[in-house]
Amino acid sequence: MDFDSVLPDVGSFGLYQKAVICLVLLPALIPCAFHAYSQLFIAANPNHWCHIPELETWANDPVFTDFIKDISIPLELRDGKLRHKQCQMYTRNYTQIREMLLQRTPLNYVKSSIEQTNLTTQCSNGWNYDKSVFSSTVITEWNLVCDKDYYATLALVLFGVGGLIGNYIFGYMQDSWGRRPSFYTYLVIEVTACALSAIAQNFIIWLALRMIVGLTVPAILASPYVLAIELVGPDKRSFCTLISNIAYSIGLVLLSGVVYCVRSWRLLSLAVSIPLLFLLTCFHVLPESPRWLVAIGDYRRAAKIMKKIARVNKKTLPSNYEDILRLKMEKPSQIVTHKQLYGISDLFSTKNIFQKTLIITFIWFANTSVYVGLSYYAPALGGDEIYNFFLAGAVELPTYFVLWPSMHYFGRRWVLCVSMIVGGSACLATFLSQHDKSITLLLYCIGKMGISSAFVVLPLAASELYPTVVRGLGMSFSSVIGMIGPILIPIINHMGSDMMVLPLLIMGALLTLGGVVSLLLPETIGQPLPQTIDDGEMIPIRNFCECFTKQNSKTSKKNLTNVTKPTSLVYETNV
């Protein structure tokens, strides 16, 4: 018998699950979006030009700013317009110009008196920064421009490296320590590192602390989702997935509001970390996953939590429920006394699970790369970068209202496929409208809606395909490989400084290919979660010849029902 069959004993989606999900798990997702993307604004690169000490008195005066730029900074063609260069200045006698300005010489006469020259030199006295959007950023504080302009990209790359390492470690922690202790361990690390980064005195210290934050972000995002789907029945898993993504998208929208109000990078670092402190007060409220406890054979703790759920959901359980739960979930012939260790090799132990792991991991890589890439790309679209980021988060919300009925009527596989192909096609189409920023912005929004939809479906489908004993490990393994994308994406976006739509073309091709490959996955709607690897073998992979035929889900479900469910093995994850 599988765990989904015993959930009705306590209520598969009663008051207890609703309270935990709405009051603890969903609020945990909203500020997590802050940490994932706040670095775009903490390390924003505003417009800048060479600082000329002799003209400093007039450089910050709105009346003289344009005049000072015109006489000291050469022009270049950038983004289709003539703009002042950011790293070069004219070689001129600025002391003489200063004397004329002090004598209140008319500006036209000053300009005509300047010796005309095309000789330029690199900025040697620092830079002036446009502070109309941000009063200070990491870039402006430590002058990370011109020959150091790759430092911001490096910071995003190392942030992604931290996420990759953190995901790998967190998968083992989830399946060995449990869902709850793993979540709070990473939460404390995340809040501490982000708060400390606000008082960093140099770029190296700040970079190291941001990498630690990156270490925790994917794990913090995954924990509420995994715990939510393990607390509810099969018919509510898609609902949990949907509202989790809604909460995350709301977090993106709220982040743009926080950035709008807080324009100093140090204060912004505190503003996106302090809200997470309230989650520490929920330690005794957040339960361990009873599904995981049953999978590792800890029936005593599982029964205790199940009784608590039943009491809140107004269900009645017998006093000997632990013994009943044990009898339901295991067969005497399967009881063994030794521990069975599960590791990475078990994700490739059979042809079936190997193929599933390979396909899920590739799609995860494509989705993570494109979702993060498009979110990082929003400020580069031109115009108000805070508004662009707000728009990138807001366009995700309407897609969820379409996804909710779609996942029920069409299943996971087709919705995933269509979402990725539509999003990928929109990104590819930007090549045809690269000189029209309005059309490019529209296609960008369509691409963001497509990838947002795919991001809702993929974790749900993956969690329904990976068996319980390796679910945390499997999803973390796929996430780890997927996190290679956010490492590469900042570099690709940096390359787009010469051709704005180049990153969109690369992301569009990757997303479209992922959509085609997703057709190979089996449909999982309405089927019990596989508990053991043997259960997973009863859900066969598809081939391209079967992609457009209806899967016999009843047969798969029947096969799963006939397979023996969790034994009293103590499951652990190990390398």
What SS3 string covers 85-100?
CCCEEECCCHHHHHHH
Same domain assignment for residues 29 and 170: yes
Residue 572 located in a structural domain: no
Residue 521 located in a structural domain: yes
What are 391-430's pLDDT values in tens digits? Answer: 888 998 888 888 778 877 888 888 899 999 999 999 888 8
Cα–Cα distance, 525 to 414 (Å, whole number): 11
The residue segments making up the domain with residue 427 are: 342-546
Same domain assignment for residues 229 and 298: yes
Same domain assignment for residues 416 and 532: yes
What are 188-228's pLDDT values in tens digits? Answer: 898 899 999 999 999 999 999 999 998 888 777 777 778 88
> What was the pLDDT predicted at 326?
85
What does the H/E/C string look like for 11-63? CCCCHHHHHHHHHHHHHHHHHHHHHHHCHHHHCCCCCEEECCHHHHHHHCCCC
Q: Exposed (0-12), middle (13-18) or buried (19+): which is 144, by Cβ within 10 Å?
A: buried
Same domain assignment for residues 105 and 171: no
**Number of compact structural domains in the chain:** 3
Same domain assignment for residues 6 and 85: no
- Residues in the chain predicted with pLDDT less than 50, given as ranges, are 332-338, 551-558, 560-575
CA distances from 152 to 284, 369, 533 (A): 40, 18, 44
Same domain assignment for residues 273 and 409: no
Q: Exposed (0-12), middle (13-18) or buried (19+): which is 412, by Cβ within 10 Å?
A: buried
Residue 557 located in a structural domain: no
Using the 3D structure, point to which of 313, 334, 355 is the last residue of a domain: 334
Using the 3D structure, point to which of 307, 334, 361 is the last residue of a domain: 334
Same domain assignment for residues 26 and 92: no
Q: For residue 470, give every residue at least 6 positions away whose Cβ sits within 8 Å of its Cβ, in sequence order, or none.
A: 175, 342, 346, 347, 533, 573
469 within 8 A of 529, measured Cβ to Cβ: no
Cα–Cα distance, 539 to 536 (Å, whole number): 6
Using the 3D structure, point to which of 334, 368, 392 is the last residue of a domain: 334
Q: Taken in order 315, 320, 322, 324, is the CA torsion positive or negative?
A: negative
Same domain assignment for residues 148 and 21: yes
Same domain assignment for residues 376 and 442: yes
Residue 269 located in a structural domain: yes
Q: Exposed (0-12), middle (13-18) or buried (19+): which is 50, by Cβ within 10 Å?
A: buried
Residue 567 located in a structural domain: no
Residue 575 located in a structural domain: no
What are 290-312's pLDDT values in tens digits? Answer: 888 888 888 899 889 889 989 99
> What was the pLDDT predicted at 335?
45
Residue 568 located in a structural domain: no
Same domain assignment for residues 427 and 362: yes
Same domain assignment for residues 58 and 27: no
Q: Where residue 409 sits, what CATH number does that domain have? A: 1.20.1250.20
Q: What is the pTM of this model?
A: 0.79
Same domain assignment for residues 407 and 289: no
Residue 186 located in a structural domain: yes
> What was the pLDDT predicted at 547?
56
